[in-house]
Structures are given as structure tokens and as C-alpha cells.
Amino acid sequence: MNLAATSVDLSRFLSRRPDGTVTFDALVKGAHCAGCLAKIEKGVGALPGVASARLNLSTGKLAIVGSAGLKPDFVLQRLHDLGYEGVPFEAGASLDEDAREGRFLLHCLVVAAFGTVFTMGLTDAIWYGGDMDATLRGLFFWLAATVSVPATLYSGQPFFLSAWKVLKRHRTNMDVPISLALILSLGLSLWQTAQGTGHVYFDAAVMLSFLLLTGRYLDFLLRNRARGAARHLLAMQSVLVRRQAGSELETVAAADLNPGNHILLTSGERTPVDGVLDDHGTELDLSLVTGESVPVLRTAGAAVSAGSIVTGAPVLLRVTARVENSLVADLARLLEAGRQGKSLYVSLADRAARAYVPFVAVTALAVLAGWLWAGAGFAHALTNAVTVLIVTCPCALGLAVPAVQIAATGRLFRDGIFVKSGDALERLAEIDHAVFDKTGTLTLGKLVLENKGQIAPAILEQAAGLARASSHPLARALVAAAGEGPVSSGVMETAGSGLEAPGRQGAQRLGNAAWCGVTDDENGASLWFRDGSADPVRFIFRDQIRPESRQMVADLHRRGIVVEMLTGDRSIPAGRIAAEAGIPLWCAAVGPKEKADRLRTLAMRGQRVLMVGDGINDAGALALAHVSIAPGTATDISQRAADMVLRGSTLSPLVEAFDVARKARRLVIQNFILAGLYNAAAIPLAALGLVTPLVAAAAMASSSLLVTLNALRLAPWRAP
Amino acid sequence: MALIIAAALVMGLAGLIVLLWAIGSGQYDDLEGAAARILLDDTAGDPSAPDKV
């Protein structure tokens, strides 16, 4: 989308500050390194009216402060010239809220880290200072208490708040035993210190909080990155259109369009809403709507659905439905149904938590009862029960999943894949069936001259001379085949028909069959060229398969995944592409509803399906699939419906994503086993009262370290 | 000894407060950007001294 080129008015994105300066925020896509940062900040900073430009590489937000002369369209044009895509960004509350949550977690983490270091300094003196006298020991314990109690209570807030929230609804989660362990260990330690005995867990309590917060913060970073991806997609959808107001045109957001409005669409623009062609017809590229690879002609009065791209003459479209109602109602329902289905998916971490919470509670109670039954005093029994709660506290479990996921998504991000949610990776690891769309997914969605070999170079050059004057997709495909060259003089374009220029033997014509006076027998993508009275020459175009598709399909087959192709296109081109890609299983002329039905059938048979598609007709299927991926060139709605979006223009990262997902799953399971082994060893010792506070702290730290190191095996800097 | 312990606590708290302030003022909001900015020439990344052409 090149907003700058459509010369729309962007002043509504400017905001004025009380001190007279003007600010403008833009989201920049594709900036990932120091070079990009310098290029963008310098390039935009040098524009008139810009006082400062600062790019946040993590969120992609470019914050510009300037004077009244600040021109947003200049900024976007400059970004475009620098090779980046930028869209105006309306400062919503969500970004600030994310930043606030991140800061709060970081605050807690820092407090816990300081508390841990301090408390350890004090308690280590006790554990190793064997001949310390009782008064000094008491003093050190009280000092440790003054540091660790406030530090733990402050830094434990995220757990306490979350535990309280679920307890109010009579449910439980992982944060309930965590909060319990934190509070009980502090209480037990205070009580023991007052008694003058040695079972004091001040260091363990605050370290527990620190390790768990580390996991929580990693999880936040992960979600933040996923939300960032979603935000980019949303911002890219804030399409601006030109609406007719009297005799003028005004720029409005697509979301503000109402039925009855008229909007102007020029060649290359995509309509964001459903509408009717009012005064005259045009040629439309429906590939995103139906999957058809060839532009079709629509006459005045024809209905046009959202997502159609104008390829012919500029038209006025009468809006018939608002943006949110513009997709076929079925499709919207499908999207909703798919989302609900996915919310039922239970991630590995949640499954672990469900098993873990009752297990810990029962074990601690059993230890308490056991010691009481064995005749120990209540204080002794309670101490051992609380020790069990402390040593089983799931720091390693809390780190097991986020550490792996952050390493995996970081690596995928580097390879060009946006992962929109953490559990999408888990779901991707489970697939056994992959369904691909054809146009724009397996193919480039771009027409290429097929019969170049049969056409005389001189004819091709003459035809290209005419074609260079046009922006029609077929003309551009012809130019691409012919290469650089001069434009014929005096070319006139008749929208929907073709081009004409004076030649030596009369008029040269390039266009559809009727334009060149022939009757077309085949309904395909072709151009005809006629030089005066000479025989017309036919140029045949067809969609090209992506060069990497065949290899990717073979790679998936090798991994035991059944590959299938569903397309809305007719069966001749579909069969040809399926054969070229090596897909034996394919189905042509499949509408959006049938695509969704097919996915439902597969799911009913117990298959876990990966859906890859780019068109509006795929959105429902994308939402219904077990996991879905949209190529970077996909429609907004498909990118919104999909779990992952490929950033680049190739499909090959898809196999890599699958491999990383499987590896991540393996690492998560390994981590659970490690954490489980640690608990299996620690619980009996703690239950028997053999665990000293020093051992508890050491075991906790080492198991967390082990789990994190294991996760780092997936880190971005490692080769696969 | 009491003095040493008190001094340690005070210094630690001071460090903590400085770090909390740094987080609060947004210095940790863009770690990727911070990692990249160190590679830039002096004035390029500094909003107070923009590189005007």
C-alpha cells in the first residue's frame, strides 16, 4: 500500500501538544537493524518541520516531534523512498498499557533480584559461619527478614493478584500454590526466627519470587511480540479511501464509510467494502476473493465484494455495506466459530498446571498428617509440610514453557515468521495434514507470458512499446517479458478494451480479442496484438508456481504430512499447478464455504490440519484449522485469521517453522521431565525433614538454570 | 559492623531506586533499539541533537 502516492490528507493523524509542537506516530514495517534505524531516523529527521524522529525497534513505532510544518505524507513518502512501509498510527491505549504491564513486571523483577542478592549475603554468612554466636545469628536473621519480607511481598504482587482473581471465581491456577508458598515460607521463617531456631527460608522465598518473575517476564515479552505483530496487521488495515462529497473528494478511514456513499477507486486500489458499480464498468482482479487468477470484466450495476482490486478504468463505487458487514456473513460467523474452537485448546503449560496444583496440595497435607500421626509436634509437622510446598514450588515449571517459546519465536522471527500466539507453536507441532490454497499461496499470483518462444522478437517489441504506456496487469506482464525499451508514441488507452497507437501499416492495437477483431475461443488470460491488417498475434499468460513450492511440498511429504490443495480456480489451471507442485490430492472450484466444510470434515476425522492461504475466501478455513499460516502478501483478513504470518515473500520458512515447533515441543517436554525429576527427588527429602534451607535454595536455582539452558538450545544464534 | 551493614543496605537501596527510576522513565522499553543504537554515530540516535541536514 503506498499511501503517499494516493495523495490523501493525513492531517487527522497529527496531534498538537500544549507547547505548540506537533507529533505524528507511524508504524514502520521491516526495520530490524542498526542500519535501518539510522537510515530512517536520519532520513525522516531531515524533512522540513521535523524536530526529532525516534524509532522504537521493538515495537516498530516511529515517534516524530515537529513544528506546524510537519507533513505526514512527506514522512510516509520518505519512508517509502527508503524502502520501508509506513502507516499512520493512531496512538491507542493498548501500546501504553502493554508498556505499563512490562514496566510493572520489570519493577517486581528488579526488586526481587536485589532482595535475593541481599538476603543471600546475609543468610550465607549464617550458613557458612558455623561458630557464629546466637545473638549475632538472630541479628542477621532479623536483618534478612527486613530485606526479604518487603521485597517478596512487593515482587510477589503479580502472583497474589492473579491468584486472588481466580480464587474469587472458585477456581485455581498455578499462582495459588505459588502465592501460598511465598506467604507461608515468610510466615514460617518469621515464626522460626522469633523462636530462635534455624529453619529459615527468607532467601528461598525471595529467590522463588525472582525465578518465577523471570519466567513471567519472558512470557510477557513473548505476548508483547505477538501483540506487536497483531498491531502491525491492524494498523496496515486502517485503509484510507477517497469519498465523494458534493463535487469534491474527501479522505476518510474505510471504517467511516456508510451505505450510499460513493468512493473513487483507481487502478490498483482494493475496495475495503462491498458495493455496486454505479455509472460504468471496469476490470477487476478477484484473485483475493475467489482465487481466480485472471482479471474479469464487470459492467455497470454489478456487485463488487470487498477485496476486489480495480485493474481497469477508475470507477465510482456505491457503498452497500459498512466495513464490518462487508464480508459475507457466513465468513464472519466462520471466523468467530474458529476463534472459539481455538480458545478451547489447552496449552501444555496449562495441562501441567492442572495436574500440578492438586498434587502439591495433597502432598503437603499428607506430610502434615503423616508427621502428626507419627507423633511429632504440630510445629515440626507444619515446618516439614511448608518445606514440601517450598521445594515443589514450580520455578522450573514456570520457566519450562516461556523460555522455550521465547527462544523458538525469536528464532522464527529472524527467519521471517510472525507468531501471533505462543500456543500456535504447540499446535503447529501436532499437525499431520496440510491444506494449501493455490493462487497467491502456491503460486506467485502474478501472470507471466507463457508463449514467449513462439512470438517473433520484433512483434514482442512492438507490442511492448504499446504495453509500456499502460498499468494493466497483463500489459505489465508483457513488459516484464520484453524488458526495458521505448514507449510507442501516441498511445491511447480504452479502459476495458485495449491500447492503440499509429503504426506504419495502420493502427497498432493491443488488447482483448474483440479489440483486435478476433473471436476468442478460450476463456483464459491472453492479449492480442494486431499491426494494421496483419494477422493478430496472441500472447498467453498464466500464473506461475512459486519456485520453492515443489521443494516445500516434498519436505512436508518427507515429514509424513499429507498435503492437499483447495482452490476456487477452474480445474485446468488448478490441475497444472498441483502437478507442478507435486500434490496428488487437489480439488478445484471450491468456494469459501466448501473450504471450511472440508476442514471441518478433516477435523472430525481426528486430523490436525495446517491451513495455508492468502485470500478472503481462505479466511474462514484459516480460522477453523488447527493452526494456520498466511503469506506476507495475504489479505488483511487472512493475516488476522491466521496464527502465523510469513514476513517475506517466500514459502520456504514454513518447513523451518514446523521443524522449530516440533523441536520446541520436544524441549518443553524435556523441561517438564527435568522439573519433574527434581521434584521427585526433593519431595521425599523435604517430607522427611532432611532439606535444609540452603539445600532448598540451591536446588531451586540449579533446576531453573538447567531448564533455561535446555531452552537455549533453540536460541536464534544456533544453527538448526 | 553495624555501620557496614547499614552502609551496604543504603547503597543497595540507592542502586535499586536508580534502576527503578530508569525503568519508569522508559529506558527499558526498547531493548532491541538500545542494542542497535550503540552502533550508530554519536549524534544520529540522540533526540536532543538531531542530525539536521
Identify whether A437 is a catalytic site residue. yes
pLDDT of residue A555: 92
Q: Tell me: the pLDDT tens digits for A191-236?
A: 888 887 767 888 888 988 998 888 888 888 877 766 666 666 555 5
Q: Tell me: the pLDDT tens digits for A160-193?
A: 998 898 888 887 777 888 888 889 889 988 988 8
pLDDT of residue A7: 44
Domains of chain A: which residue ranges? 1-91, 97-228+351-405+663-714, 237-326, 411-444+546-659, 446-545
Q: What percent of chain B has pLDDT over 90?
A: 6
Asked if residue A472 lies in contact with residue A496, where contact means CB atoms within 8 angstroms, the answer is: no
The correct CATH number of A237-326 out of 3.40.50.720, 2.70.150.10, 3.40.50.300, 2.30.30.30 is 2.70.150.10
pLDDT of residue A112: 93
Say yes or no: A37 contacts chain B, CB-CB below 8 A.
yes
Distance in angstroms (rounded) separating the CA atoms of residues A438 and A565: 7
Residues of A in contact with B29 (CB under 8 A): 56, 58, 99, 102-103
pLDDT at A494 over 60: yes
- At the top level of CATH, the class of A411-444+546-659 is alpha beta
Take residue A421 and report the three cell numbers written for it. 500466539
pLDDT of residue A325: 65
| pLDDT higher at A51 or A395 | A51
The mean pLDDT of chain A is 80
Separation in Å, CA of B43 to nearest CA in chain A? 10
The mean pLDDT of chain B is 76
Picking from B3, B10, B53 by the largest number of A CB atoms within 10 A of its own CB, the best residue to mutate is B53
pLDDT of residue A493: 77
Residues of B in contact with A50 (CB under 8 A): 50
pLDDT of residue A342: 54
Q: What percent of chain A has pLDDT over 70?
A: 88
Picking from A33, A57, A104 by the largest number of B CB atoms within 10 A of its own CB, the best residue to mutate is A57
Separation in Å, CA of A58 to nearest CA in chain B? 5
Interface of A with B in 56-75 (CB under 8 A): 56-59, 65
DSSP code for A270: B
Distance in angstroms (rounded) separating the CA atoms of residues A238 and A272: 10
Predicted-complex ipTM score: 0.73
pLDDT at A345 over 80: no
Q: Which residue of B has its CA nearest to A55?
A: B33
Nearest residue to A439 (alpha-carbon basis) of A617, A687, A194: A617
pLDDT at A396 over 80: no
Q: In what order do the strands lie in the sheet with A537-545?
A: A443-449, A537-545, A526-531, A506-511, A498-503, A492-494
pLDDT at A639 over 90: no
Distance in angstroms (rounded) separating the CA atoms of residues A361 and A366: 9
Beta strands in A57-200 (DSSP E): 61-66, 85-88
The CATH topology of domain A1-91 is Alpha-Beta Plaits (3.30.70)
Say yes or no: A47 contacts chain B, CB-CB below 8 A.
no
Q: What 3-state class would DSSP assign to A312?
A: coil
| pLDDT higher at A720 or A52 | A52
Other CB atoms within 10 A of residue A661 CB: 23
Q: What 3-state class would DSSP assign to A288?
A: coil
pTM of the model: 0.71
What's the whole-number mean pLDDT along residues A508-515?
A: 82
Confidence of residue A155 (pLDDT cuts 50, 70, 90): very high
pLDDT of residue A115: 92
pLDDT of residue B43: 57
Burial A537-552 (b: 16+ CB within 10 A, else e): bbbbbbbbbbebbeeb
Take residue A160 and report the three cell numbers written for it. 497474589
Fold match between domain A1-91 and domain A446-545: no
pLDDT at A2 over 50: no
What's the whole-number mean pLDDT along residues A604-627?
A: 84
- At the top level of CATH, the class of A446-545 is alpha beta
Compute CA A524 distance to the chain's CA centroid, rounded to the nearest angstrom: 36
DSSP code for A652: T
Residues of A in contact with B12 (CB under 8 A): 114, 117-118
Helix A134-155 vs helix A202-236: crossing angle, to nearest 10: 20
